[in-house]
């Protein structure tokens, strides 16, 4: 059985792949979701930063409990993530997660190899930094001086297709049987539901339902999730690596 590791910028970004990870888990695979930022600026304007972070972590734990996967919480402040000095620390924590989990496959936001624009700066970084560190983490000369065991190999990468993105996947996963649980996980994000409804005029749960139905229509099933394989050298997969 294989190990799948997803890095997401924010709690709730994992919903883009929730149905796929549920399927993989039911098939006996290991699935881990690592959330890089901690919700320090995620709505809830009348609360303190510490209170916002506590709520973000609790909602992430609740949603990923519905999914059933392992988690890692990297605890990087959202508002500091774009700063170069913070990215040094983020890289360190990402590297440690990579060596600890030793994934067979990585799942990331759309990144530079796709030449694909993403609407959120944090998503760019959450794709770029693990992509770069996942090459170094397989090299003993980077891992062992830190007291870490290097990854077994450079993992192939699947890029998730987030909500609102005009991406045409080259891999689809049928999540019809998991759509209700995916939406149950989305409903765990009470703070985000309120924030996105007010800030972006978006019904968060229904957007995820709609996107799943649209991707399903592309591949002839009621609901699906989409992925793009990384086109870079040493990241391609000989077989799908994902359920059909």
> Alpha-carbon distance 129 to 217, whole Å?
33
156-200 confidence digits (pLDDT tens): 999 999 887 778 898 999 999 999 999 999 999 998 888 888 888
> Alpha-carbon distance 76 to 40, whole Å?
9
> Is the confidence at residue 238, as pLDDT, over 70?
no
> Alpha-carbon distance 61 to 65, whole Å?
6
The set of residues, in sequence order, having a beta carbon less than 8 Å from that of 113 and lying 6+ positions away, is: 131, 157, 230, 231, 232, 235
Q: 3-229: which CATH number, 3.40.50.1820, 1.10.150.120, 3.40.1160.10, 3.40.50.10320?
A: 3.40.50.10320
pLDDT of residue 148: 96
pLDDT of residue 234: 81
Burial of 88 from C-beta contacts in 10 A (0-12 / 13-18 / 19+): exposed
Name the band, by pLDDT with cuts 50, 70 and 90, for residue 214: very high
Q: Output the CA–CA distances (angstroms, integers) from residue 180 to 14, 174, 214, in the order listed.
A: 15, 13, 16
13-45 confidence digits (pLDDT tens): 999 999 999 999 999 999 999 999 999 887 777
Domain spans, the chain: 3-229
């Amino acid at each position: 059985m294989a190990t799948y590791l997803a890095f997401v910028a924010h709690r709730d970004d994992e919903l883009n792949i929730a149905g796929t990870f549920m399927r993989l888990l039911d098939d006996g695979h290991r699935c881990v979701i690592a959330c890089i930022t901690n919700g320090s600026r995620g709505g809830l304007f009348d609360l303190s930063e510490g209170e916002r972070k506590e709520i973000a972590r609790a909602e992430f734990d609740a949603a990923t409990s519905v999914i059933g996967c392992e988690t890692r919480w990297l605890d990087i402040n959202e508002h500091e993530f774009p700063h170069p000095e913070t990215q040094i620390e983020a890289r360190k924590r990402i590297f440690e997660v990579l060596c600890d989990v030793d994934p067979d496959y990585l799942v990331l936001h759309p990144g530079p190899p796709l030449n694909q624009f993403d609407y959120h700066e944090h998503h760019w970084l959450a794709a770029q930094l693990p992509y770069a560190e996942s090459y170094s983490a397989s090299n003993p000369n980077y891992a062992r001086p830190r007291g870490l065991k290097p990854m077994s190999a450079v993992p192939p990468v699947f890029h998730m297709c987030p909500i609102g993105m005009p991406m045409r996947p080259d891999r689809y996963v049928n999540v019809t049987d998991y759509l209700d649980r995916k939406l149950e996980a989305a409903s765990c994000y009470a703070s985000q539901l309120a924030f996105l409804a007010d800030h972006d005029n978006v019904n968060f749960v229904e957007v995820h339902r709609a996107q799943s139905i649209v991707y399903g229509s592309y591949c002839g099933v009621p609901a699906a999730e989409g992925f793009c394989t990384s086109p870079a050298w040493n990241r391609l997969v000989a077989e799908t690596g994902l359920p059909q």
